[in-house]
Chain A
């Protein structure tokens, strides 16, 4: 059962970049890819993504500070430590498919950024 809660305002996000939110003890990296100025339907194309902030290779909470972009059409974030790429929709690492970071449900509603708490791991359960 989806349980959407407000995290912050859209104004708190950085365009084409990331921020980190603390939700129920979990560090969540939130990325916002607004639309290119030349796009035909700006609103429809705008994308927001939420994944775990923990970098499983570097063992540090840094993914929200990575650069985002697309590779072969997949939206990705590159770790700022050792540059592995993670698919922002599936959490799968492009360099090593056995590694996956958590992915969370996120949306923008009336200027507010919301995450679905039910997509967070239950306490005591590993986030996978």
Chain B
């Protein structure tokens, strides 16, 4: 095909973007010139996690569009321009700004709008809706002057919106027309339990309320009057009473629409015009509008397949949901209301723990039809698999919801699932796809997530994914061997526990009690590292010296020719002219190659082993201390100049960076650790690419964790927001101690996080909520390390025994004749092989 056809997509929301992403991933992208209209001022963003906007997530972080996506794939994006009309005869689309485009294929992904009940006064000031980032900005503006906020609608979205009002610091009410919360998903008892839990969090819930008018309040901006005569004063009224499909374009051009709205589509998502498709919340399939993102994504993929001429159908979607509403677990599966003929119900209610569970099963008690879980949704994955795959229930189905107080497991093992079972509903990943990825070599959770995308959406399936992985690996005959090496049948975490609990202070003692043989270059440095993070003795003490990698042994970094580089600490990257001169003088005197590092300090290269103590003597006399560039330990805390000098600075990033670097310097950890502190959200210190990143905001410090640059960049996760300094430091103490205890050897925080069961939420529950009751210990351990800090070089140069190793030959003062430098750009560099031979020949001659 030489001439490209034109494909126009109207709407760049979550579903429109998913469609584009799948389209450009297919050969179709060669066939079509792609054009998309986006009425909002920004391209697709994550509406599912919209409420996180109020806890520090920025509009940019919510974006679903990779940098340069449209440019890279040659897609024309009309941003902030709304498609205004479609001419089906001429096959053209005209926009509000007057752009006119002829299409061959058209995809409508216009989404929905929030339904606002036609109550008199619904358009008064501070009567808002909750759908776009602009809506959120209006809410934030209104919250500045208001004290009370009320959500109209107690469904899924309404409760999300209530959380947003709480996060804005408002006294929050929820008004629901139905007699219970989440009327679609929950039964009466489940709704009542949810209400109890939400009221305990400080939200006032009003059910069975019909708003008759909104008018002037006496103490607040607005007053809501209900049909039963009661009134509620509120500053903000937030409508979240359901959605309506955006079908006005389709109506105007004569496409078939449903009686109550929605563009009618067939199983291929085609509208009544074969050139036009509709997907997402604007589409009506079999009389249903799907207000969830997963079915919209399935529709998007169906259209891509149909365009490519492949067989694909959208045949409805499972509307089961599991979510955390204001920290309360809620889940609903299948026929939650037991509407199926002959359905039988089991319920379990625990008033003390505020847990409610309900199972709906078929008459013969063999099939699970539906379920409701409130307060504890841990059984969701298992129940969903029973329901979706028609797996026969155990003899006593109630065992699935009764608390099991023995070790006996009633969960559905991964082996019971058919290959077609959907494990990840966000990305539609089946067990079969996961098994082939494992066969193809994905042996870790991190690799599996990267390959299949499973568990990278909402993350709800990660525990199930892990159990599939473990089961498959053991089936393939891989003994999941987590032993660190042949000398110790333990993981790094086990060894850490043994050392801590038994008070073991030396490698020899540990080997004698728990290992065999002599050790190797895997277990020795690992155990040396654990001993250092636990007891913090000098690493060159006689008992520890033989455990250290060469860099630690010589307190410097070995380079390719066997020489070392020297990096003194420059806290926060702040250095006075005098110190800089002193550093320069040392470099000059020893003829070292000098380079500025990425961590805002100076690296001096080309030092011979015998020169290291002399160099350090001079550096220490000038006021420097070890930079630990050689260790698995805190490297640098990078900072921008912050509020002290910068016009935009919000807080003193340099001051905090220096304080943090001085606090954690010397801490030995499973791998190196890098920090950064930015003085404002412009983020000049690149804190979101660091193990620990701190960014100043007007409300306090925001803490990011587990970011990484390097080979596999990872954007850090927002961990906590609006912290004062003591809380920030306490949180970092706990985070680092927990990492030191539980990570594998040479595992950076980013990979540690990727492989952690339960992920970010779990880490928060341990570090912030103290779920494991460990936090006191973690803080004490960190304080111990801080209190026992020593500059390793200062101690070394004061101790003759430790200096003994710092010569090339034990029986001669000659230097190594294999070390040869040549000059390049006015500095030294190691000679290459040819240059070195030439040099030796000259010497002999």
Q: Given known contacts A67-B521, A69-B524, A78-B520, is B818 in contact with A60 (CB within 8 Å)?
A: yes
> Is A71 at the interface (CB under 8 A from chain B)?
yes
Could you give, for residues 68-80 of chain A, a 1 whenever the CB lies within 8 Å of some chain B CB and a 0 otherwise? 1111110110101
Residues of B489-529 contacting chain A, CB below 8 A: 508, 511-512, 517-521, 523-525
Q: Which of B107-115, B225-233, B385-393, B546-554 makes up part of the contact surface?
A: B546-554
> Is B89 at the interface (CB under 8 A from chain A)?
no
Is A21 in contact with B542, judged by CB distance below 8 angstroms? no
Q: Given known contacts A8-B811, A60-B561, A80-B549, is B524 in contact with A27 (CB within 8 Å)?
A: no
**Partner among B512, B560, B810, B814 whose Cβ is within 8 Å of the Cβ of A12:** B810
A56 to B546, CA, bound (A): 23
Q: Given known contacts A36-B512, A61-B562, is B816 in contact with A16 (CB within 8 Å)?
A: no
Is B818 in contact with A69, judged by CB distance below 8 angstroms? no
- CB neighbours (8 Å) of B67 from chain A are none
A76 to B524, CA, bound (A): 13
**Nearest chain B CB to A89's CB is how many angstroms away?**
14
A83 to B558, CA, bound (A): 13
A10 to B772, CA, bound (A): 50
Interface footprint category on B: 35 or more
Residues of A79-113 contacting chain B, CB below 8 A: 80-81, 83, 85
> Is A117 at the interface (CB under 8 A from chain B)?
no
Could you give, for residues 46-75 of chain A, a 1 whenever the CB lies within 8 Å of some chain B CB and a 0 otherwise? 000000001000111110011111111101
Is B810 in contact with A21, judged by CB distance below 8 angstroms? yes
**Partner among B520, B550, B811, B812 whose Cβ is within 8 Å of the Cβ of A62:** B550
- CB neighbours (8 Å) of B549 from chain A are 67, 80
Is A65 in contact with B512, judged by CB distance below 8 angstroms? no
**Nearest chain A CB to B770's CB is how many angstroms away?**
39
Is A22 in contact with B812, judged by CB distance below 8 angstroms? yes
Is A20 in contact with B550, judged by CB distance below 8 angstroms? no
> Is A7 at the interface (CB under 8 A from chain B)?
yes
- CB neighbours (8 Å) of B808 from chain A are 20, 61
A98 to B805, CA, bound (A): 32
> Is B545 at the interface (CB under 8 A from chain A)?
yes
- CB neighbours (8 Å) of B525 from chain A are 67
- CB neighbours (8 Å) of A66 from chain B are 521, 550
- CB neighbours (8 Å) of B524 from chain A are 67, 69
Q: Given known contacts A8-B810, A60-B561, is B518 in contact with A67 (CB within 8 Å)?
A: no
- CB neighbours (8 Å) of A78 from chain B are 520-521
Q: Given known contacts A17-B546, A37-B508, A72-B486, is B518 in contact with A7 (CB within 8 Å)?
A: no
Complex: chain A residue closest to B609, CB-CB = A65
> Is B833 at the interface (CB under 8 A from chain A)?
yes
Could you give, for residues 537-574 of chain B, a 1 whenever the CB lies within 8 Å of some chain A CB and a 0 otherwise? 00000100111011001100010111000000000000
Q: Given known contacts A14-B546, A37-B508, A61-B562, is B519 in contact with A69 (CB within 8 Å)?
A: yes
> Is B809 at the interface (CB under 8 A from chain A)?
yes
- CB neighbours (8 Å) of A83 from chain B are 521
Complex: chain B residue closest to A20, CB-CB = B809
- CB neighbours (8 Å) of B519 from chain A are 16, 69-70
- CB neighbours (8 Å) of A38 from chain B are 512
A17 to B558, CA, bound (A): 17
Is B512 in contact with A60, judged by CB distance below 8 angstroms? no
**Nearest chain B CB to A115's CB is how many angstroms away?**
10
A70 to B524, CA, bound (A): 11
**Nearest chain B CB to A22's CB is how many angstroms away?**
4
**Partner among A21, A76, A81 whose Cβ is within 8 Å of the Cβ of B558:** A81
**Partner among B486, B545, B560, B811 whose Cβ is within 8 Å of the Cβ of A60:** B560
- CB neighbours (8 Å) of A61 from chain B are 562, 808, 816, 818
Is A71 in contact with B520, judged by CB distance below 8 angstroms? yes
- CB neighbours (8 Å) of B486 from chain A are 71-72
**Partner among B511, B553, B814 whose Cβ is within 8 Å of the Cβ of A22:** B814
**Nearest chain A CB to B517's CB is how many angstroms away?**
5
Is A70 in contact with B811, judged by CB distance below 8 angstroms? no
A72 to B517, CA, bound (A): 9
Residues of B589-606 contacting chain A, CB below 8 A: none
**Partner among A7, A27, A33, A73 whose Cβ is within 8 Å of the Cβ of B816:** A27
Complex: chain B residue closest to A83, CB-CB = B521
A17 to B521, CA, bound (A): 11
- CB neighbours (8 Å) of A71 from chain B are 486, 520
A65 to B551, CA, bound (A): 9
> Is A120 at the interface (CB under 8 A from chain B)?
no
**Nearest chain A CB to B186's CB is how many angstroms away?**
58
- CB neighbours (8 Å) of A67 from chain B are 520-521, 524-525, 546-547, 549-550
Is A58 in contact with B520, judged by CB distance below 8 angstroms? no
Could you give, for residues 787-817 of chain B, a 1 whenever the CB lies within 8 Å of some chain A CB and a 0 otherwise? 0000000000000000011001111101010
- CB neighbours (8 Å) of A19 from chain B are 805, 810
- CB neighbours (8 Å) of A70 from chain B are 517-520
A116 to B215, CA, bound (A): 104
Is B811 in contact with A7, judged by CB distance below 8 angstroms? yes
- CB neighbours (8 Å) of B487 from chain A are 69
> Is A42 at the interface (CB under 8 A from chain B)?
no
**Partner among A12, A36, A58, A80 whose Cβ is within 8 Å of the Cβ of B508:** A36
**Nearest chain A CB to B282's CB is how many angstroms away?**
58
**Nearest chain A CB to B525's CB is how many angstroms away?**
7
Q: Given known contacts A62-B562, A67-B549, is B810 in contact with A30 (CB within 8 Å)?
A: yes
Is A65 in contact with B554, judged by CB distance below 8 angstroms? yes
Is A14 in contact with B545, judged by CB distance below 8 angstroms? yes
- CB neighbours (8 Å) of B811 from chain A are 7-8, 21-23
A-B residue pairs in contact (CB < 8 Å), sample of 12:
A7-B811, A8-B811, A12-B804, A12-B810, A16-B545, A21-B812, A22-B811, A23-B811, A69-B487, A69-B519, A76-B520, A80-B558
**Further contacts, 15 of them, CB under 8 A, given A16-B519, A20-B810:** A12-B810, A14-B804, A16-B518, A19-B805, A19-B810, A27-B816, A37-B508, A60-B562, A61-B808, A67-B521, A67-B525, A67-B546, A69-B487, A70-B520, A85-B521
